[in-house]
Amino acid sequence: MSLFKRLFGRGADAPRTEEEAHEEEQKVEQSLDKSRKGFFRQVVQLFQTDEPVTEELWEELEEALIQGDVGVETTLYLVNRTKDRCNRHGVKKAHEARDMLKTEMMNVLQEQAERPPVQARPYVILVVGVNGAGKTTLIAKLSQRYKRMGKQVLIAAGDTFRAAASEQLEIWAERAGVPIISRGQGADAGAVVYDSVSRALETGADVLIIDTAGRLHAKFNLMEELKKLRNVIRKRLADAPHEVLLVIDATTGQNGVLQAKTFLKAVDVTDVAITKMDGTGKGGIAFAISQDIERPIRYLGTGEKIDDLALFDPETFVDALFMEK
Ligand SMILES: Nc1nc2c(ncn2[C@@H]2O[C@H](COP(=O)(O)OP(=O)(O)OP(=O)(O)O)[C@@H](O)[C@H]2O)c(=O)[nH]1
Ligand SMILES: [Mg+2]
């Protein structure tokens, strides 16, 4: 199936033409340059040969995957599933095992079934994640993306804690050409959020994207604040937020995944965005995230610029890792 067909209907910001889908594929491929040169080079080499499949091959695969931030548990799971698949299919040579591995890698990423797109207006997205994960940048990217798809977007500067956070988002809003509700540092985040939902309702906005803090003053609990914000949204719009997007920085490795897990319990995370894939040689983190966070990966951040964003597609991702370039 073509990438376009796979992405078609995946929500209001999915590519609408073959060309757009192809551009997106290229972004994913480029963002995995470092991983292909990094941890994945060895994996590809292991499965290029005519050599018989041996226990040693599996051990070396294990080592390479763990090096690539796939995580011990996910690595063992993946290797065992690949071994089983090879046995079932009577695979004897390393290069034949390659397709078995590819299939199981895709399966890991596909285990978290995609949510069917939710129809709502305004469609409210609450963006959460630890500080520096790339939330604000992602919001800029999403704003531009939805706007390009003909949607009327509003953004809310719900991070009122960090100095200059609102200004940073204001600059992005201007660049993307979308309106913003912002009251600057020190304002009550709940009030900003409440106002933004009201404004979205009044103006008939299609999409409202809400930024949140990644860190608060020691005397405030971030998770409690986020719950509060979610409740404020619900007061104004009972079925919102329609998407709670957890942003995870690919360069932070296993520790980043562990930190991200704390958000799962506090707010009902629906989807994950992995940022800075271009900045790591250990893109195996995507597999660990899929297994540990147990939410579909919806987006991939592929660079610092406003259009460095792709919808995450398991097949494209795995193909790009195996690509010879
Ligand atoms: N290379 C690369 N850099 C990124 C990407 N996404 C974000 N960044 C960079 O990561 C840094 C932090 O991004 P922000 O968007 O400010 O992160 P944040 O989560 O809003 O941070 P706080 O507001 O402090 O909680 C910035 O320097 C971004 O340019 C990406 O996909 N690739
Ligand atoms: Mg921010």
Cβ atoms 24, 306 nearer than 8 A:
no
Predicted pLDDT at 114:
80
Cβ atoms 256, 248 nearer than 8 A:
yes
Q: How far is it, in rounded angstroms, from Cα 56 to Cα 73?
A: 19
Q: How far is it, in rounded angstroms, from Cα 256 to Cα 205?
A: 34
Cβ atoms 280, 92 nearer than 8 A:
no
Q: How far is it, in rounded angstroms, from Cα 199 to Cα 154?
A: 8
Residue 175: pLDDT band (50, 70, 90) is: very high
Is the minimum distance from the CB of 173 to ligand 1 under 6 angstroms? Answer: no
Mean pLDDT (whole number) for 196-211: 98
| Tokens 């020691």 belong to residue | 218
Is the pLDDT reported for residue 8 higher than 90? no
Q: Cβ of 119: how many Cβ atoms within 10 Å? A: 8
Identify which of 126, 160, 275, 277 to mutate to test ligand 1's pocket (most ligand atoms within 8 A of the CB): 275
Q: How far is it, in rounded angstroms, from Cα 314 to Cα 304?
A: 22
**What's the CA-to-centroid distance between 284 and ligand 1, angstroms?**
20
Three-state DSSP class for 73? helix
Q: What are φ and ψ of residue 123, in 5° steps? A: -85, 115
**What's the CA-to-centroid distance between 211 and ligand 2, angstroms?**
7
Given the CA of residue 215, which atom of ligand 1 is nearest to it? 25
* Host H or E run for residue 154: strand 153-156
Q: Report which protein residue has its CA nearest ligand 1's atom 25.
A: 131
* Host H or E run for residue 123: strand 123-128
Predicted pLDDT at 1:
81
Q: In this structure, what token pair is assigned to residue 296?
A: 């579909």
Q: Report which protein residue has its CA nearest ligand 1's atom 4.
A: 304
* Host H or E run for residue 247: strand 243-249
Is the pLDDT reported for residue 216 higher than 90? no
Predicted pLDDT at 153:
98
Is the minimum distance from the CB of 158 to ligand 1 under 6 angstroms? Answer: no
Q: How far is it, in rounded angstroms, from Cα 265 to Cα 78?
A: 26
| Tokens 């041996």 belong to residue | 54
Predicted pLDDT at 154:
98
Cβ atoms 136, 220 nearer than 8 A:
no
In tens, the pLDDT along 24-46 reads 999 999 999 999 999 999 999 99
Mean pLDDT (whole number) for 274-287: 97
At CB < 8 A and 24+ separation, what contacts does 215-222 make? 215/130, 215/131, 215/161, 215/162, 216/161, 217/161, 220/161
DSSP 8-state code for residue 208? E
Mean pLDDT for the chain overall: 95
Lowest mean pLDDT among 2-16, 69-83, 172-186: 2-16
Is the minimum distance from the CB of 28 to ligand 1 under 6 angstroms? Answer: no
